[in-house]
Amino acid sequence: MTGSKALKWTTGVCELLLAIPLLGAVIIIGTSYAPLFIMFVLHLVALVLSIQNREAKYGSVMGLITCALGWIPFLGWLLHLVTGILLLVSAAKRDA
């Protein structure tokens, strides 16, 4: 497993955790939005590794968008859910 795939699995699970209603909001608001900044950095690193390894980039790009807009109620929930699913799907793909 490449580093980018491992990071996609990790960020995908974290995104799905943040998509859990109320729990995700408590985590985000309770930590002064720090998880959005941390996840932004992780998605950026995953994107760079994906580019280097010529792997799918859509999950990481969506993650960056999610971190920028994730603070908006309901939209943030939807974005975290979609991003988590996309990241796990791209992480689960076999190498060509």
Q: Which pTM does this prediction carry?
A: 0.90
Per-residue model confidence as pLDDT tens digits over 40-50: 999 999 999 99
State which residues form the domain around 66. Answer: 3-92
Per-residue model confidence as pLDDT tens digits over 7-19: 999 999 999 999 9
How many structural domains comprise the chain?
Answer: 1
| Contacts (Cβ under 8 Å, ≥6 apart) of 68 | 40
pLDDT tier at 85, thresholds 50, 70, 90: very high
Q: To which residue do tokens 């699995």 refer?
A: 9
| Mean pLDDT (whole number) for 52-69 | 93
**Cβ distance 18 to 80 under 8 Å?**
yes
Half-sphere exposure of 9 (CA within 13 A, CB side): 7
**Cβ distance 11 to 63 under 8 Å?**
yes
